[in-house]
A and B are shown apart, each in its own frame.
Chain A
Amino acid sequence: MELSSIKYVIDALAYSLYAFLVGGLLLGLHRKIVARIQGRPGPPVIQYILHTIKFYFKEITFPITAGNPLYLFIALMSIMVWMSALYLGVVFNTSLLILMGLYVLQKIVEHGCGLSSGSPYGKLGGVRSVFSAAAEIPLFTVIGTIYLLTKSLIIEDIIRYQEIHGPIIFQLPFAAFAFFVLLLSKAPNSPFAIVKDKSIVSGYMTEHFGLLESLIMIADGIAWFVLLWIFIAVFIGPLLVSDPLLTLVGMVVLTFLISLLCALTPLLTPNHSVMIQIIISVLALVDLLRRIIVG
């Protein structure tokens, strides 16, 4: 019996609760800002968390079309993915590559949610999520450009690099832009949010209702926190990351910017969304090759 391991477990749980609360509040704020820009009063800021708690006490049944236990497991996996990302990224500051691997697993979750339910709406959401995998290519080029600049992908080293040389956002503005588009594509109601388009009911989450939807919403809250944190840590650096309060301020500002964009732009059709993401990824690739060849 080791006392230290109890401490680790409690720390871990407390951290993920914190991440969920902050992420949930920010997503609520996002809805509020979008509503205000469109001239509606909008739901209260805590609406996202209220929804999560409400769904947690709702009944579920397994649809006859569902393929179990994948149908159930994929909802659990979505929390596993983002809690691991939270610990590996925010707590242990490990490699950016692992975080990108976990981000890619989010695609598996979306695709799996849609496919395993056997519903045509879910399936469409899942296939759209596969198509929008074009958004991941800028990710790898971003990783490549950052590696060329800092000679390391460990987040700790990247933060240390920025202590000396200043924020990376000024040195690699295009990489920051590509990553920002990735953040935007994860936000609800964004121009790239084709997986949760209302024309296909709720996208991949259509058949995951009640308790399972609550679990996926918990994961989404943590995901929003983690993605914003990664953006701030990698591109702005110790200026904001060193103090949790300043990090929160940075997250609020980023959420505000993203909500502004979400409110002012229409939802693109799948073809246009994928084409724009492919254009951005090609530009990021050209940027990477130029940096490799010029040196």
Chain B
Amino acid sequence: MSLNITSIAGKFYGYIPFGDIVLYVTEFSAISFIVAIFFTLVVYFTKPEKQLESQIGGFDTLNYVSLEELKIRRLMAILCGICTAFAMLTGDLFNYALFLALIGITNIGIVAAVKKEWVLNAAYYYGLIAMISTLPLFGGAALILAKTGTLSILELAKKPYDLLFQKILYAAGVVGETGVAPFYAAKAEMFRAPGAPYILMIHLSSLLIVIRTAEILLTI
């Protein structure tokens, strides 16, 4: 196996030819895959927490998450977990971008059922940023395809290509899609919504994606 992959992500355990989609397993991707799946299971079993709201001149009230709201949010959180898990394994830049877009959609879905104005506003802004950043994301992948003729990470790792501009575009797309540092303002408001396990899934997916992106950008 090409030295690039083993010197970044640890031991190479093999790849799974799955039609067009090639998944490959390294030490790093195996561990993060297991973490994502494990967490998805925990999210499935967890009941949402009840936030305590203090009232002036009365008894404190508990904020319950209704069953209807819980069902759609749990579904979205589980989808988000599965997408994250397979984004860890995929060996194709385009599929990775697709998984990312799907994670963005499910992230909005997780908070969209909350009937709180500020949460919905934050989700709306995050959605705008995610939509805008699909352009550099897919554009970066397309430019890499145009320059090298392949999107497979395994192929790209074999030869050294000069892909600095494309990588910066791709990274900008990922940053917007996961909503890290500069775009954090929109996403941090989303974390204030009640329902701990589902909100946590948003956080976990974006963090794992950022690390995986660092791995991909160093490899190709």
Contacts and interface: CB of A to CB of B under 8 A. Distances in A.
Direct contact of A and B (CB under 8 A): yes
Interface of A: 64-71, 73, 84, 94-95, 97-98, 100-101, 104-105, 107-108, 111-112, 115-120, 123, 126-127, 130-131, 133-134, 136-137, 140, 143-144, 147, 151-154, 157, 278, 281, 292-293
A71 B184 contact: no
Given A115-B196, A140-B214, A281 B49 contact: no
B197 interface: yes
A28 B201 CA distance: 35
B8 A70 contact: no
Nearest to A134: B181
A118 B52 CA distance: 7
Nearest to B26: A95
Nearest to B31: A98
B32 interface: yes
A278 B184 CA distance: 12
A144 B50 contact: no
B203 A70 contact: no
Interface string B1-37: 0000001111000000000000000011001100100
Interface of B: 7-10, 27-28, 31-32, 35, 39, 42-43, 45-52, 54, 62, 164, 180-181, 184, 188, 191-192, 196-197, 199-200, 203-204, 207-208, 210-211, 214-215, 218
B10 A71 contact: no
Q: Is the interface of A mostly helix, strand, loop or mixed?
A: helix
Contacts of A115: 49, 191, 196, 199-200
B49 A67 contact: yes
B184 A131 contact: yes
8 contacts: A70-B43, A70-B49, A70-B200, A104-B210, A108-B207, A115-B199, A116-B197, A281-B181
Given A67-B46, A104-B211, A140-B210, A98 B52 contact: no
Given A70-B42, A97-B10, 12 more contacts: A69-B45, A69-B46, A70-B200, A71-B49, A94-B10, A98-B31, A118-B49, A118-B51, A127-B191, A127-B192, A143-B214, A153-B8
Given A115-B199, A133-B180, A97 B28 contact: yes
